Structures are given as C-alpha cells and as structure tokens.
Structure 1
Amino acid sequence: MNFPNVESLEEAESLARASCLVDDEDRRQHRKFWECLRSRTLLPFLSPPRVLRSQSEFQTWFLDWLGGVDDKELVVGMMAMYQLWLARNEAREVPMIEDPEELAKRTVRLVEEWQAVQATSSVSKQQTVEHWLPPAAGWYKCNADGAFSQGDGHGGGGVVIRDHQGAFLAGESLFFPLVSDPERAELLACHRAVQLAREKGVQKIQLETDCQGAVSKLRSTEMDRSVHGPLVEDIKKLLEEFEEASVNHVRRTGNMVAHKLAKLGCLNNVNSAWNVVPPGFLVTMLDSDAGD
C-alpha cells in the first residue's frame, strides 16, 4: 500500500486543519469522516456512496467492500479506520487532530507488527484443524448443521449419517421456510438428524454439530425454558429412545459435509435426500473424511 509522500501532505495541511476538526456539527457524517483529507489520504481505496439512507445500507455497502478487496487492502483499511477513529476521539480534548503523516506511519507500523505475529502463529493454527472422526464400532455418527438467511427469514439444514468405517448410510439437505434465528436452524437440523437415525434403525447414535449453544441445551438435564425450549425437549425425548446416545461439539472443519448440505438447502429452497449412495458432489469430501 503506497501512501502519499510527506510533501503532498504538508502542502494540504492548512486545508486539513480547517476541514477535519470533529467539532463541526453542521457537517454531515459522510463529509466529516469519509471526505476528510486524512480519510482520503489514508483510505484512497475506501469511499462509500454519498447517499446512504440508513445504517443497514451502510452495512450492505461495507460487507460488499469487504468481499471485494484483497488481503493487503483489508488489513491496512481496517487498521487505518481504527486509527482515524482514535484520532477523532482524541481531538475532542485537544485543539487539532493528529498529523496525517503520523497516522499513516503508525498504521503501517501496527500492520507490520500484526503480520509478524500472524507469521509466527500460523504453524500452531494449522495444528488445531479438526477433522471428522469415525465413531466406535457399532455406533453411527449423525452430523447436523444449520444455515440461516436473515434477509429472507428462512434457513437450511444438513444431515449425514455414517458408520464406524465412514460408510455413508443416509443424508439430507433441508429447507426451513420460517426460521427466526441461526440457533433454531441448528436445532431443527439436529431434530431431523435424530429422526432420520430412528428411521434407519440406528441403535447407538453420536449426534455431532458445530453449534456450541445447541450442544449445551441438549446436554442440559434442566428443562429448557427458552423460546426454543419445546424443540429442545423434543430432541432430548427422541434421544432417550436409542439404546445409547451422546451429543458432541465439533469444529466446523469436522462438520463440512453437513455444512455443505445445509447451505445447499438454504440456497435452493428444496429438500433432498439420499440413501446408501451419496450424491456425486459429496463423494470427495466423504472419501477424505474416511481417509483421515
């Protein structure tokens, strides 16, 4: 990321002092932050539209920006915005906001420090990746995952059942037309996973999901009195019908097959089911899990 040189900053410094003070309450927020000389100096690649009618419109634009920039711009942009925010807060107590050259230098220094820390910790992060693990002989593992579309108010679920050798028994991609929040989508997926296991004659089940909240609720011996309580209690009752049952948490990397099916159901708005023979798009992932 190339910042303007010192000469160009000094040349415009007198204008910056007049246009970048935070006590000018008459200026619109867009003008006061995004069109300020320091913002345009530090963030030439980040400028929202002039007309943003609501916080949700800004959120939509910002998320689109996050998805379109490269890693270097993302890191520098986020750090620079944070430093600008700090400088404006401090300017409420002092007569002038911090010099833009110092803001730029500190941003670059902090980014370099952060990148150095990330480089030294990359090895340990790779070692924490969790993979799908088969259950003990005689048991079946039922992986479940939920997906949620806040804008559409619906969700999806993914369910896959495998034995101790990783062999595929059954799987479903589900569409939930009315879902209030992500946790409900997760619980609906767990509910269907347990139902499907019963339909397939499974006697010993390990229900596994990457939603820690759902796991905590299903493990609790107390009656769940939350908004999802009836659904939670129904799943608990179904689990009692098995010869043996357990509920476990797994990281997303160990739940990728169910995750893919959940996203598919949420996106396509349809229910799909497979018995014994998995769909072609899952074969590689299933083989990889069995190989691990």
Structure 2
Amino acid sequence: MPFSCYVDGAVAPCSHGAGGLVIRDAMGIVCYVHGFYYAGLLDSFIFELMAFRDAIRWCSLKGLTEVMFYGEAKVVIEKIQRRDARDVKGGRILVELENLQRQYQGFGISFVGRSNNQMAHDVVRKTLSLLLASVESFDFER
C-alpha cells in the first residue's frame, strides 16, 4: 500500500471527543496530520468508529485510493473487519464503514499497538485540548 493511515479516537470527561489521523507515505514520511472534533457523545467505542469512518472519508476526498488504516482499538477493528453491523451500539456507523470499504477497494484496516500509534494518539489529545466547539475538523501544520 502506498499510504499508511494511523487512526485514533478518544473521549474527554466533559462530553466531547476527538479523532485523529496521521498519514505516512511508502517511505514512512508524514504527509498529513488531521484532527476531528466531536461534540455531544460520551462513548469511546463510538468515537473510535467515527474516527475510522471520518479517516476513510477524508482520505477519499484527498484522492488517496490505496491506504492501509491502523488503529489500537482492537475490539472496534474486529467489529469493522467482521462487518458486524447488527451491533446496536454503533450499528449505523458500522454500516457506513462497510459501504465505504466496498466503495474504496484499496482500503484495508488492521490492528496496531499503542506504541506504533502514538502520533495519532497525540493528535487526538491535541484536538481535545483545543476545545473548538464551533469547528468540526482541521489540519495540523507539519
């Protein structure tokens, strides 16, 4: 795969959350760093699902057609890989993810440990710290 996208999502104690992505090219050089802000939810499982959904959407908008997505939320990744949209919690988002995966055949999703996902985790922490309730997403400077 020409690109690797490291994804993370998290929830803050005061009813908001964030997702983040770090994209590296085939040489391992960081190409993009992007954060997503989510308001009004308190569930880390849902934030992780939303982070993957939004990362796939964002990559497709940028014209990236062959991307391997990595994340550290093993339970979430297993649900996505099993295409288990029957799950009541997150079912709609799982259906969206399944449709996106069908639409973009060059995308794959796999588990990676926290130590290999630290940059995405840091993007999420930075996004949470900004508390930009009026902003849904933004790019970080490299």
Using the size of structure 2 for normalisation, the TM-score is 0.88
Contact persistence 1:207–1:246 (CA under 8 A): yes
Amino acid at match of 1:272: F
Equivalence map 1:1-292=2 (5 Å): 136=1, 139-149=2-12, 151-270=13-132, 271-274=137-140, 278-279=141-142
Match of 1:160, SS?
strand
Consecutive unaligned residues of structure 1, counting only runs of 5 or more, are 1-135, 280-292
Match of 2:77, SS?
helix
CA displacement at 1:244 relative to structure 2? 2.1
Query: 2:42, 2:6 → 1: CA distance?
Result: 22
Q: 1:220 to 1:244 in 2, by over 3 A?
A: same
Query: 1:221, 1:146 → 2: CA distance?
Result: 19
Identical columns (%): 20
CA displacement at 1:185 relative to structure 2? 1.2
Match of 1:201, SS?
coil
Amino acid at match of 1:265: T
Query: 2:7, 2:100 → 1: CA distance?
Result: 15
Query: 1:167, 1:200 → 2: CA distance?
Result: 17
Greater share of helix: 1
Match of 1:240, SS?
helix
Greater share of strand: 2
Consecutive unaligned residues of structure 2, counting only runs of 5 or more, are none
CA displacement at 1:154 relative to structure 2? 1.1
Q: 1:222 to 1:176 in 2, by over 3 A?
A: closer
Query: 2:103, 2:29 → 1: CA distance?
Result: 24
Query: 1:188, 1:258 → 2: CA distance?
Result: 14
